[in-house]
Amino acid sequence: MKPAKFDYYCPKTVDEALSLLEEIGFDGKIIAGGQSLVPIMNMRLATPECLIDINQLNDLQFIELDGSKMKIGALTRQAEIEMSDAVRKHLGLLSEAVPYIGHVQTRNRGTFGGSLVHADPSAEIPLSLMTLGGTLHIASKDEVREVNVEDFFVTYLTTDIMPNELLTEIHIPLPEGRVGYSFHEISRRHGDFALVAAACQLSIDSQDRISKVRLVLGGVDAVPLLITEASELMEGEYLSASLLNKIADIVDEVVNPESDLHATADYRRHLAKKLAVRTVKTAYERARGENNECS
C-alpha cells in the first residue's frame, strides 16, 4: 500500500516550522516519528496535502530536570525515555509504561509528543501523562500557551491543538514524599494495542494514609479517563480490601467501553475493574516500600 502524493517541507528551526504552519493551515500535517501517521497514509486513510517534517528541530529533543519538574521535548524518542536514568529515578511510572508501546523498533523512531497529539485512547503516553499531571506547551507564530493535561484530550484522536500550532515541550511535576506508582496493561500480544490499561500514582503520609492519588484508565472511553471519584474516596484513608471493592464499583459505573473484534465491552469493563484494583494496590505497597518489583 502506498501513500497519496503530498508536498514536503523540512524546516530547520521552530520559528520556520511555525511560519510554515501558519501559511499552510488545514492542508498541512506535522510528521515526527511517523509511527502512527505513515501507516494510515499507506492505507490512504489519511491523505494530507503537505507534510511538515519536524525531525530536524533538535531543540525539541531533550529530557531535562528543572527544580521540581521534568521537562521533556516533544521530539524526544520513546526509546530515549525508556532508557533515561533521570526518568527512571523521578518519573518511574513513565519508565514502566513506555516498554508497552509497540516494539523496540518503533520506539526508536516514535516520539513522546507524537503519541500525545495523536491521542489514541488506548495509548500509554497519554495515559501516563494524565496520571502524572503536567502541562503541554503549545506554540504558534504569535504565542506560546500552556494547557493542563486534563484539558488537552478532547475525544478520539482529537486534542486541544490547532492546525497552526505545534506541541513543543511537556512539563511534568516530580512527585514528592512517600510515593508509589504502577502501570498495567492487557493486550492480546506484547506490543499490540491495549485492550485496557491502567495507571496509578499516589502519595502516603507518615501514618500510611493516602494523601494524594490519581487513577487513570485507558481503552475504556474516548480519552484517558481520570477516575476523580476514586481519588475523593481514597484521600485521607488507609488502603483496605473494602476500599478496593468500592474502587471497583466506581470503575464499573464510570467506564464506557466499546465492543470490537478483539474484546466485548463487558470484558473491557471486567478488565478495567481488575486493573484499577491491581494498580492501586501495587502503588500503595510500593509507597510503603513493600513492593519494589517491576510487575
Partner 1 sequence: MSVHEIEVTINGKKYREQVESRMLLSDFLRETCGLTGTHVGCEHGVCGACTIHLNGSAVRSCLIFAIQVDGQEITTVEGLTKDGELTLLQRNFIECHGLQCGFCTPGILMSTTDYLQKNPNPTLQEIKEMLSGHLCRCTGYEGIIKAIQKTIDESNLNYEAERR
Site residues, partner 1 (CB under 8 A): 1-10, 31, 34-35, 38-39, 42-43, 51, 53, 55, 79, 99, 102-106, 108-109, 189-191
**C-alpha 290, offset from chain centre:** 27
Q: How far is the CB of 13 from partner 1 (least distance, A)?
A: 17
Q: C-alpha cell of 237? A: 484513608
Q: Which is nearer to partner 1, 117 or 287 (CB)?
A: 117
Q: Which is nearer to partner 1, 99 or 175 (CB)?
A: 99
Q: Could you tell me the strand order of the sheet in which 194-204 lies?
A: 178-187, 194-204, 210-218, 225-226
Q: How far is the CB of 293 from partner 1 (least distance, A)?
A: 14
Q: How far is the CB of 117 from partner 1 (least distance, A)?
A: 17
Of 276, 278, 208, 214, whose CA–CA distance to 236 is shortest?
208
Q: How far is the CB of 102 from partner 1 (least distance, A)?
A: 7
Q: Which is nearer to partner 1, 51 or 81 (CB)?
A: 51
Q: How far is the CB of 8 from partner 1 (least distance, A)?
A: 4
Q: How far is the CB of 282 from partner 1 (least distance, A)?
A: 19
Q: C-alpha cell of 272? A: 478495567
Q: Which is nearer to partner 1, 31 or 220 (CB)?
A: 31
Of 131, 191, 285, 89, whose CA–CA distance to 293 is shortest?
285
Report whether 134 contacts 170 (CB < 8 A). yes
Count, residues in the chain? 295
Q: Which is nearer to partner 1, 108 or 291 (CB)?
A: 108
Q: Which is nearer to partner 1, 186 or 255 (CB)?
A: 186
DSSP letter at 274?
A: H
Element (H, E) at 137: strand 135-139
Report whether 166 contacts 139 (CB < 8 A). yes
